[in-house]
Structure 1
């Protein structure tokens, strides 16, 4: 990022709009990820390779089996964390791009994977953004913990 670009901290409403936009995208990505698992299980069932035993269907198995449930939910979390980390390490999610926001270190560089994990674990599912309303530097809780910032990019000339 060019250090001569003047940015200002991102405000609460702009962050909220980007979160909403990204939530819609993440829901779609998760639906595809889960659909792949269900379709694979149904294909294996139709070939006689697996059976659901006492479970009603693939969903019942994936949500109630003691082992498969943990693996499946871990996979869903992995997709969610992977999506956010991938885009945050590039500086912007699609929602952030639409609302002209950028996640960066104070020197303007991209954050690292460890910082993305800190952001996810301290964001309190988005509630960490409420501190933007009270912090003089408009920092969210997750930004403080991960030592990064979300800035509002200027309009292109």
Structure 2
């Protein structure tokens, strides 16, 4: 009697991580909040640098007047400053996504960003994703709520950038 041919194993190779389904809305919002703390710190330091060079006298205490400066100089209120901060936000997210597919919040919540083909997202995909995510938030989070009606559970910025978020399963504890 001839033996049955062996079928290929359906388990992925050891170096390929097994992913769970895409994360839900509330997990994505938790990542946004987590990342917002780090981003706030980055933007705070990024504001101090030009502020110091534009008006270093604001950083020196004046014991005669004992006053505190409550306003930014005019150059730190204009459109150039806003573009500077926007570029920093784009670089912040794009750098993390290109490096490892995860921001700090995504690492904490076990979420990874990938291109739809399974590879690392390109710079273009990252930039498009950040911009469309901003539009999604500005529209009252509608781009995020969209995953409740999308058949693939992808948000506006997932679709626009041709990327996908994947949930990484918890590592099993060794006894």
Match of 1:41 in 2: 54
Distance change >3 Å, CA 78–CA 44, structure 1 → 2: farther
Q: Which of the residues 108, 118, 129 maps onto 1:98?
A: 108
Query: What is the CA deviation profile of residues 106-134 of structure 1, one whole-angstrom value per residue up to 9, with x for unaligned ones?
Result: 33211011001111222225322111122
1:152 equivalenced with 2:167 (yes/no)? yes
SS at match of 1:75: helix
Partner residue of 1:88 out of 97, 121, 144: 97
Task: State the structure with more CA Rg.
Answer: 2
Comparing both structures, which one devotes a greater share of its residues to helix?
1
Name the TM-score, length of structure 1 as normaliser: 0.80
Instruction: Give the secondary structure class of the aligned counterpart of 1:9.
Output: coil
Give TM-score, length-normalised by structure 2.
0.73
Alignment of 1:59-98 (within 5 A): 59-63=72-76, 69-90=78-99, 91-98=101-108
Taking the aligned partners of 1:92 and 1:31, their CA distance within structure 2 comes to 22
Structure 2: gaps of 5 or more residues: 1-14, 60-68
Aligned-residue Cα RMSD (Å) equals: 2.3
Measure the CA separation in 2 of the matches of 1:5 and 1:101. 12
Runs of 4+ in 1 over 4 A off after TM superposition: none
Q: Which residue in the other structure is 2:5 paired with?
A: none
Measure the CA separation in 2 of the matches of 1:111 and 1:3. 17
1 CA distance for matches of 2:136 and 2:160? 15
